[in-house]
Structure 1
Amino acid sequence: MLDMNWMMMGSDQQTAEAAPARARRGRSFLSILVWSIAGGMAAALIAGFAVYLNEIHSEQSRTSRSADGIVVLTGAAQRMNDAIELLAKKRGTRLLVSGVNPAITNDELNRQIPDFARLSECCIDLGHEAQNTLGNAVETAAWAKKHGFKTLLIVTSAWHMPRALVELERETDGIELIPYPVVTERMREQSWWTSPQVARLLVFEYLKYLAALVRAT
Structure 2
Amino acid sequence: MTPVDRSRAFPHKRRKPWRALRWFAAICALAALLWLAGLGWFGFTMPQTPADGRTKTDAIVVLTGGSGRLAEGIRLLAAGAAPVLFVSGVDPRVDKQSVLRGAGGAPEEVHDRIVLGFRAEHTQGNADETALWARAQKLKSLRLVTANYHMRRSLLELRSALPGSRIVAHPVFPPAVSRGQWWRSVRGVAIVNAEFYKFAAALIRVTLAPAGPAGPDS
RMSD: 2.6
1:60 aligns with 2:49: yes
1:139-178 alignment runs, 5 A limit:
139-178=129-168
Which residue number in structure 1 is paired with residue 215 of structure 2? none
Matched residue SS, 1:160: helix
* Contact 2:88 2:126 (C-alpha < 8 Å) held by counterparts: yes
1:179 aligns with 2:174: no
**Structure 1 residue 32 displacement after superposition:** 2.7
Show CA shifts across 1:182-211 (max 9, x none). Answer: 013554379333432222222212222222
Query: Unaligned 5+ residue runs, structure 1?
Result: 1-8
Structure 2: distance between partners of 1:212 and 1:28: 38
TM-score w.r.t. structure 2 length?
Answer: 0.81
Which residue number in structure 2 is paired with residue 42 of structure 1? 32
Query: Unaligned 5+ residue runs, structure 2?
Result: 208-218
Which residue number in structure 1 is paired with residue 109 of structure 2? 118
Larger radius of gyration: 1
* Contact 1:67 1:91 (C-alpha < 8 Å) held by counterparts: yes
**Structure 1 residue 169 displacement after superposition:** 1.9
Distance change >3 Å, CA 190–CA 15, structure 1 → 2: closer
Structure 2: distance between partners of 1:81 and 1:61: 14
Larger deviation, residues 22-31 vs 137-146: 22-31
Structure 1: distance between partners of 2:99 and 2:81: 21
* Contact 2:62 2:144 (C-alpha < 8 Å) held by counterparts: yes
Matched residue SS, 1:62: coil
Matched residue SS, 2:45: helix
AA in 1 matched with 2:57: A
Which residue number in structure 1 is paired with residue 95 of structure 2? 105
Structure 2: distance between partners of 1:189 and 1:142: 33
* Contact 2:182 2:189 (C-alpha < 8 Å) held by counterparts: yes
Structure 2: distance between partners of 1:185 and 1:42: 27
Identity of aligned residues (%): 31
* Contact 1:110 1:116 (C-alpha < 8 Å) held by counterparts: no
Structure 2: distance between partners of 1:99 and 1:183: 19
Which residue number in structure 1 is paired with residue 213 of structure 2? none
Whichever structure has more helix as a proportion of its residues is 1
Structure 2: distance between partners of 1:162 and 1:59: 13
TM-score w.r.t. structure 1 length?
Answer: 0.81
Distance change >3 Å, CA 31–CA 39, structure 1 → 2: same
Aligned length: 203
Show CA shifts across 1:134-157 (max 9, x none). Answer: 111111111111111222111001
Matched residue SS, 1:159: helix
* Contact 1:72 1:98 (C-alpha < 8 Å) held by counterparts: yes
Show CA shifts across 1:73-131 (max 9, x none). Answer: 0122411011011111221222110000111112223544433542232x221000111
Distance change >3 Å, CA 162–CA 126, structure 1 → 2: same
